[in-house]
């Protein structure tokens, strides 16, 4: 099994869930974190536990200026570097009294954290919502999946699975493939390609999809082109273009809650006029994604799978994804906490 937490940017909290003055406790990536927003809307992420007596800064911690104040004894820690700057009942601060400060960025309605086993400088996190000025937020879905994080993005490079589990109409439900009365009214057809980027953007891979919906197996009633960017190990940006709906955008984040437990969030954006139609689209996408979840929840990870010659893109994906593991990446045996 590969290391459970690859290096890269992770969207750990949606912006709307952190109001000015809020502090939240987040457990992910084998870390315990406090994420807080100042009244000036700046976001900081620190290790959650106070170095004094171990209180959780994210449970009852108070935001004061740019600082987070411990709820137990009111020790105060700066957001900019995690240093302790006040102990209200003491005239001195013990040397080394600080908590780890994490690099973070807020973009595209998410708060991201930079996680890297080698403490390397982060690559630039793209801001790909070019059309957001004319698109509005229409909804989201959220899933918890029992698998290694690598399994989820690998799906985009698995060309054969599209026909195997996604051709059947979403009206057939999330347990497809199966034949039902409703499925006879429509089926999905896919043509996909996956390829990595090289050079300074080598942490990005791209997927191109064409999708058509056929009625009674013959009449082509809907076509859509999908272009996607896999940005690092856990962040995907999809743009869907069709003559029917115009442009729809989907942002996907994967957050490792535990080594083999992933939280996946999709947020959907499109023209305001779509309204109820996009709700149907979100429902259909959710059904299709649940079909993948049915596979991930019950499969094993094959380090050296036997591949057909048509599975070349899976091998390419694994070579590309390996860049997010380094010599100090935590192994499964290293994931734990001696504090209790």
Q: What range defines the domain where residue 104 resides?
A: 8-115
pTM (two decimals):
0.92
What is the rounded CA–CA span in Å between residue 226 and residue 191? 10
Examine the domain organization and report whether 79 and 169 are in the same domain.
no
Beta carbons of 136 and 273 less than 8 angstroms apart: no
Three-state DSSP at 307 gives coil
How many residues does the structure list for the chain?
340
Examine the domain organization and report whether 162 and 259 are in the same domain.
yes
- Residue 2 belongs to some domain of the structure: no
Beta carbons of 82 and 104 less than 8 angstroms apart: no
Count of domains observed in the chain: 2
Examine the domain organization and report whether 225 and 76 are in the same domain.
no
- The tens-digit pLDDT sequence of the chain (340 residues) is 899 999 999 999 999 999 999 999 999 999 999 999 999 999 999 999 999 999 999 999 999 999 999 999 999 999 999 999 999 999 999 998 999 999 999 999 999 999 999 989 999 988 766 545 678 999 999 999 999 999 999 999 999 988 788 777 666 667 756 555 555 556 767 688 999 999 999 999 999 988 766 665 555 666 788 899 999 999 999 998 887 778 899 999 999 999 999 999 999 999 888 888 889 889 989 998 999 999 999 999 999 999 999 999 999 999 999 999 999 999 987 776 555 6
Examine the domain organization and report whether 139 and 109 are in the same domain.
no
Examine the domain organization and report whether 243 and 280 are in the same domain.
yes
Examine the domain organization and report whether 107 and 237 are in the same domain.
no
Token pair, residue 257, equals: 């809650």
Three-state DSSP at 248 gives strand
pLDDT single digits (tens) 67-88: 999 999 999 999 999 999 999 9
- Per DSSP, helices labelled H in 73-199 are 151-154, 160-166
Assign residue 225 the CATH number of its domain: 3.90.380.10
Examine the domain organization and report whether 136 and 107 are in the same domain.
no
Examine the domain organization and report whether 140 and 111 are in the same domain.
no
C-alpha distances in Å from residue 183, one per residue of 17, 174, 178, 188, 301:
38, 12, 8, 10, 31
Spatial strand order in the sheet of 204-215: 135-145, 261-271, 246-258, 235-242, 219-231, 204-215, 187-196
């Amino acid at each position: 099994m590969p290391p459970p937490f690859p290096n890269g940017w992770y969207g750990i909290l949606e912006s709307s869930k952190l109001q000015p003055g809020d502090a939240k406790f987040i457990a992910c990536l084998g870390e315990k974190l406090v994420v807080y927003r100042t009244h000036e809307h700046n976001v900081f992420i620190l290790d959650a536990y106070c170095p004094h007596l171990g209180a959780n800064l994210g449970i009852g911690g108070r935001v004061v200026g740019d600082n987070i104040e411990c709820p137990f004894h009111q020790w105060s820690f700066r957001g900019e570097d995690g240093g302790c700057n006040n102990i209200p009942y003491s005239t001195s601060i013990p040397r080394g009294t600080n908590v780890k400060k994490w690099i973070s960025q807020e973009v595209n309605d998410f708060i991201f954290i930079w996680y890297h086993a080698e403490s390397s400088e982060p690559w630039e996190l793209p801001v790909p919502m070019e059309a957001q000025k004319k698109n509005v937020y229409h909804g989201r879905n959220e899933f918890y999946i029992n698998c290694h994080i690598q399994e989820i993005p690998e799906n985009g490079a698995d060309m054969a699975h599209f026909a195997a589990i996604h051709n059947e109409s979403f009206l057939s439900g999330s347990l497809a493939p199966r034949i039902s009365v409703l499925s006879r009214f429509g089926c999905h057809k896919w043509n996909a390609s996956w390829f990595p980027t090289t050079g300074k953007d080598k942490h990005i891979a791209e997927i191109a999809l064409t999708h058509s919906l056929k009625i009674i197996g013959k009449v082509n009633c809907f076509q859509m082109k999908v272009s996607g960017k896999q940005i690092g190990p856990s962040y995907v940006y999809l743009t869907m273009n069709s003559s029917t709906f115009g442009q729809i955008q989907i942002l996907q984040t994967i957050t490792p809650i535990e080594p083999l437990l992933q939280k996946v969030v999709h947020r959907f954006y499109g023209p305001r006029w779509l309204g109820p139609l996009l709700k149907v689209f979100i429902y259909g996408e959710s059904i299709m994604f649940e079909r993948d979840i049915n596979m991930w929840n019950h499969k094993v990870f094959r380090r050296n799978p036997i591949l057909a010659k048509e599975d070349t893109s899976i091998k390419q994906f694994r070579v590309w994804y390996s860049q997010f593991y380094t010599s100090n990446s935590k192994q499964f045996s290293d994931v734990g906490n001696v504090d209790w």
